[in-house]
Amino acid sequence: MGKRKNLGGLARFVQNAFQAEASSSSELVQAESVVTAVEEVVTASQSAAGTTRTSSQIEEENVEQELMSESTRRRPAKKRKIGLLGPGYEKYDATGLAPHYTNIKQVPEKLKKYFSQRNRYFSLYSEGCLLDEEGWYSVTPELIADRIADRCRCGTVLDAFCGVGGNAIAFAKTCERVIALDTSPVRLALARHNAAIYGVSDRIEFILADYISFAKSYLSHPTPNQQRRIDVVFLSPPWGGPEYLSGVPSEAAIEKDSNSEHPEYNLSSIKPIHGAELFRLSRRITTNIAYFLPRNTSVQEISDLITEERVRESDAKDEQEGKGKAKDVPERVEVEEEWMGSKLKALTCYFGGLAAGQEHLYE
């Protein structure tokens, strides 16, 4: 696996900014977690059974007791183990930023169904993994994350919305370099904490940044050099909350899909921008995109993403000779269904050189 390399420009700036913020927040947590251990006061028996004590003996004992309690007062407070990660991992430890539930009785009602799947999300959950509310309902189950990471093997992968780190951890096992972005300092700290549990925190660059700004800044640089090159962009954006299955669908989707269990999901519900726009922006970074989408997304809408792109390209008549050849055969998108047991969980859509049979498109 490759060495960590630094990003330039905005990326380095935001990375530094995050590091400063993360270390200060984790210091705060540590300070709070240093709990004075309850001193075990062993009260010596005042009188041994069957013995009589003189008043001078009693006086001596009282002085001794005074001295003992004085030394007990001066003894430095014992420090309890810091955080869930234990000694040596303080800089990654985000204990206290989100609760680590161990019993379903501790879990708020709306998160109970996710808690019962905790070992699917993180097989090492019991080692102290942390998720905030959004993390609980949007983290990619580990087996699915591993599968996606296997398909995305490359030099540098950009996880545009890393959340609590499920995918970034998986990418760290298959890619040389992982850049993980999120706009929430808390979630980024949780992701780093979880990555430490999996022993990969040093292999991921966690950056507090909005992907849209990051992408625009990245694209504003002239041709990226080898060091800054991003080979694959992984998009697992917010779908608009856990209600995505029942959310307000487009009119076209209602008409077409009135009999199905769930209305079709529309890419316009994706946050922070329309899912099609998000795709277009990402394709300017690389053709190799893996897009994690709701299971009720219309396959037509997914395939329209590349059709629209082709139309725009030919309208602009800017096809170059070499590329033109490859484009003679229209690009396809591969839509992979992600099942867990008998339940379809989501779709992963592979574009460019990530789609089976399209390795020639891998730039």
Binding site for ligand MGP (CB under 6 A): 113, 137-141, 236-239, 242, 244, 292, 345-346
Q: At 220, phi and psi to the nearest 5?
A: -80, -15
Give the integer Cα–Cα distance in Å for 25 and 331.
46
CB of 296 to ligand MGP, least distance (A): 9
CB of 219 to ligand MGP, least distance (A): 23
CB of 338 to ligand MGP, least distance (A): 8
Q: Is the peptide bond before 249 cis (omega within 30 degrees of 0)?
A: no
Residue closer to ligand MGP (CB basis): 89 or 137:
137
Residue closer to ligand MGP (CB basis): 96 or 242:
242
Instruction: Supply 112's token pair.
Output: 């109970």
Q: Which residues pair with 350 in a beta bridge?
A: 290, 334
CB of 297 to ligand MGP, least distance (A): 11
* Cβ count within 10 A of residue 41: 7
Give the integer Cα–Cα distance in Å for 105 and 102.
9
Which has the closest alpha carbon to 166: 220, 202, 204?
A: 204
C-beta separation of 27 from 82 below 8 A:
no
CB of 1 to ligand MGP, least distance (A): 26
Residue closer to ligand MGP (CB basis): 332 or 345:
345
Residue closer to ligand MGP (CB basis): 143 or 326:
143
Residue closer to ligand MGP (CB basis): 113 or 360:
113
Which has the closest alpha carbon to 290: 170, 184, 118?
A: 170
Give the integer Cα–Cα distance in Å for 250 and 104.
37
Distance in angstroms between the alpha carbons of the first and the last residue of the chain: 21
Give the integer Cα–Cα distance in Å for 282 and 268.
16
Residue closer to ligand MGP (CB basis): 138 or 156:
138
Residue closer to ligand MGP (CB basis): 145 or 355:
145
CB of 90 to ligand MGP, least distance (A): 30
Give the integer Cα–Cα distance in Å for 121 and 143.
8
Residue closer to ligand MGP (CB basis): 94 or 144:
144
Instruction: Supply 314's token pair.
Output: 């030919």
Give the integer Cα–Cα distance in Å for 100 and 89.
17
CB of 305 to ligand MGP, least distance (A): 17
CB of 161 to ligand MGP, least distance (A): 7
* Residue reference for tokens 């959310």: 247
**3-state secondary structure (DSSP) of residue 300:** helix
